[in-house]
């Protein structure tokens, strides 16, 4: 079995590369060359047929990931499948199943079957679930077995917190909020109590062999990502990043696709330096960021606080944005909150693509401007990121009769700037 990376290095354009090239509207040679360089990843486990494979890299449209999955407290498999459908209809490019508890293989099988886009997991969650939540009973054998089974099942990419090492833990204990990553915190406690190194790191060769065999893309988890502004850009975060850079090179040597996960909570003025540091240290490996959240004081609105950070992150170096929903820090998201999170992040991704001059990114914005000037409401809704919401909101305070929609309820006919501008143009031509 070869990987997309190995094929690209041999100059081969695979079938999935051709599909992605058509979806992106770019030459297939660009897709191949970016993958070969390691600057892009194309998660595509052959065991998971996809109608909409997606590539993540700076040469392409910024992508959005939606985290889904059952918790031990709420939701069942059927509900998460509904959320998957909501996320896909809202435009998610990637999805992750973060389910914990029982019957995880069955849940994942359902999501793989229903997902036409790449699906990722965090194998650590299933490993702990198999131990009935007794994380301290974890062994390398259990972890590797879970990774192997998930790869065989068709998982396209996996978050592996292999860069969090024993000597990093004391650095994290200096923080205000400690370790906020679920997988990272469990591994840190395991290392502390067992006085052993991270089993993901010590068994990396075996893990890489599995990933190469099934073309699973490695997503190097940031187990020490900052969970509040006070902990951003600290010694612990960057110590782990240095280790992740070593693992990037390790994966590439073995022909395994790899991307790097990033923060977290970061003040707006530190986002640029964080993005540029990762790009330099990790040799341009795709950066997959959570937010970042730019203020800690807006629970219930963190899809907004994080979308602000995500726009900046995508402008300065990130290429895959992991959404944050209004439920962040509060609980498991509902279907409506999943929808809101995906839309907020599609806005962030598109705004960044326009700002960095990605070819063709502004075409739809220019078309929207034309539709607005023409009072073509139907066309405006069609061009919207969330057409149904735009239409419903317009209808909510609509004041015009059918066929006479040449203004809205905000300005009315006498104060409408568009109507006035049209008269100005007419005066000029006359």
Q: Which of 244, 344, 326, 226 is nearest to 285 (CA)?
A: 244
3-state secondary structure (DSSP) of residue 254: coil
Q: Which residues contact 190 (CB under 8 A, 6 or more apart)?
A: 135, 136, 138, 196
Place of tokens 């800690």: 296
pLDDT of residue 402: 67
Strand partners, 261: 288
C-beta separation of 344 from 336 below 8 A = no
Question: How far apart, in Å, do the first and last CA atoms of the chain sit?
Answer: 71
Are 220 and 261 in contact by the 8 Å Cβ rule? The answer is yes
Distance (Å) of CA 378 to CA 221, 264, 400, 405: 43, 39, 14, 11
Position 426 scores a pLDDT of: 84
Instruction: Give residue 1's pLDDT.
Output: 64
3-state class (DSSP) for residue 28 = helix
Contacts of 9 (CB under 8 A, 6+ apart): 36, 255
Domains of the chain are 62-355 (3.20.20.540), 363-429 (no CATH)
Reported pTM: 0.95
Q: For residue 410, what pLDDT is reported?
A: 82
Cα dihedral sign, 262-266-268-269: negative
Beta strands in 51-176 (DSSP E): 56-57, 63-68, 94-97, 119-121, 157-160
CA-to-CA distance for 333 and 186, rounded, in angstroms? Answer: 23
Structural contact between residues 110 and 81, judged by C-beta atoms closer than 8 angstroms: yes
DSSP annotation of 229 reads G
Beta carbons of 262 and 289 less than 8 angstroms apart: yes
Cross-strand bridge partners of residue 322:
65, 290
378-392 per-residue burial string, b: 16 or more CB within 10 A, e: under 16: eebbebbebeeebbe
Q: Which of 278, 319, 283 is nearest to 55 (CA)?
A: 319
The answer to whether 155 and 119 have CB atoms below 8 angstroms apart is yes
- Alpha helices, H only, 299-412: 302-316, 335-355, 363-373, 377-383, 387-396
Q: Using CA atoms, how far apart are residues 283 and 280, in angstroms rounded to an integer?
A: 5
Q: What is the pLDDT of residue 400?
A: 74
pLDDT along the chain (430 residues), means of 10: 94 98 98 98 98 98 97 78 97 97 94 98 97 94 98 98 98 97 96 97 98 98 98 98 98 98 97 98 98 98 98 98 97 96 98 97 97 93 97 88 74 83 82
Contact 227, 265 (CB under 8 A): yes
C-alpha radius of gyration, the chain, whole number? 23
| DSSP annotation of 102 | S
Closest alpha carbon to 217 in 251, 258, 254, 260: 258
Q: Is 355 exposed, middle or buried (0-12, 13-18, 19+ CB in 10 A)?
A: middle
Q: What is the DSSP string of 37-55?
A: HTSEE----TTS--SS---
Backbone dihedral angles phi then psi of residue 94, each to the nearest 5 degrees: -135, 155
Q: Please tell me the predicted confidence (pLDDT) of residue 249.
A: 98
């Amino acid at each position: 079995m070869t990987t997309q990376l190995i094929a690209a290095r041999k100059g081969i354009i695979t079938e999935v590369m051709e599909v992605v090239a058509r979806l992106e509207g770019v030459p297939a040679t660009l897709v191949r060359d970016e993958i070969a360089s390691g600057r892009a990843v194309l998660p595509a486990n052959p065991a998971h047929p996809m109608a909409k494979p997606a590539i993540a890299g700076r040469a392409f449209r910024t992508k959005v990931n939606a985290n889904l999955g059952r918790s031990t407290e709420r939701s069942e498999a059927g509900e998460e499948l509904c959320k998957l459908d909501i996320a896909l209809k809202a435009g998610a490019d990637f999805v992750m199943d973060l389910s914990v508890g029982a019957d995880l293989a069955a849940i994942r099988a359902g999501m793989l079957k229903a997902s036409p886009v790449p699906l990722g997991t965090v194998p650590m969650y299933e490993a702990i679930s198999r131990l009935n939540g007794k994380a301290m009973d974890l062994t390398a054998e259990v972890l590797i077995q879970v990774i192997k089974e998930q790869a065989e099942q068709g998982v396209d990419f996996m978050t592996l917190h292999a860069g969090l090492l024993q000597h990093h833990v004391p650095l994290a204990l200096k923080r205000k909020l400690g370790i906020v990553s679920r997988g990272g915190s469990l591994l840190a406690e395991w290392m502390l109590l067992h006085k052993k190194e991270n089993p993901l790191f010590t068994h990396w060769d075996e893990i890489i062999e599995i990933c190469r065999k099934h073309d699973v893309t490695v997503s190097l988890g940031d187990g020490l990502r900052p969970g509040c502004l006070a902990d951003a850009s600290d010694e612990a975060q960057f110590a782990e990043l240095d280790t992740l850079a070593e693992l990037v090179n390790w994966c590439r040597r073995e022909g395994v696709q790899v991307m790097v996960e990033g923060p977290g909570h970061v003040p707006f003025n530190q986002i640029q330096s964080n993005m540029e540091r990762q790009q330099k240290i990790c040799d341009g490996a795709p950066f997959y960021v959570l937010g970042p959240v730019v203020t800690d004081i807006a629970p219930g609105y963190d899809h907004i606080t994080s979308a602000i950070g995500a726009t900046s992150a995508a402008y300065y170096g990130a290429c895959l944005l992991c959404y944050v929903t209004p439920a962040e820090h509060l609980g498991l998201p509902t279907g409506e909150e999943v929808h809101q999170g995906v839309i907020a992040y599609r806005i962030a991704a598109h705004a960044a693509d326009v700002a960095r001059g990605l070819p063709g990114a502004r075409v739809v914005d220019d078309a929207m401007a034309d539709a607005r000037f023409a009072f073509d409401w139907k066309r405006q809704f069609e061009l919207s990121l969330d057409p149904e919401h735009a239409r419903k909101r317009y209808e909510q305070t609509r004041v015009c009769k059918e066929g006479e929609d040449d203004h809205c309820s905000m300005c009315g006919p006498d104060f409408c700037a568009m109507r006035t501008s049209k008269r100005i143009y007419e005066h000029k031509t006359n």
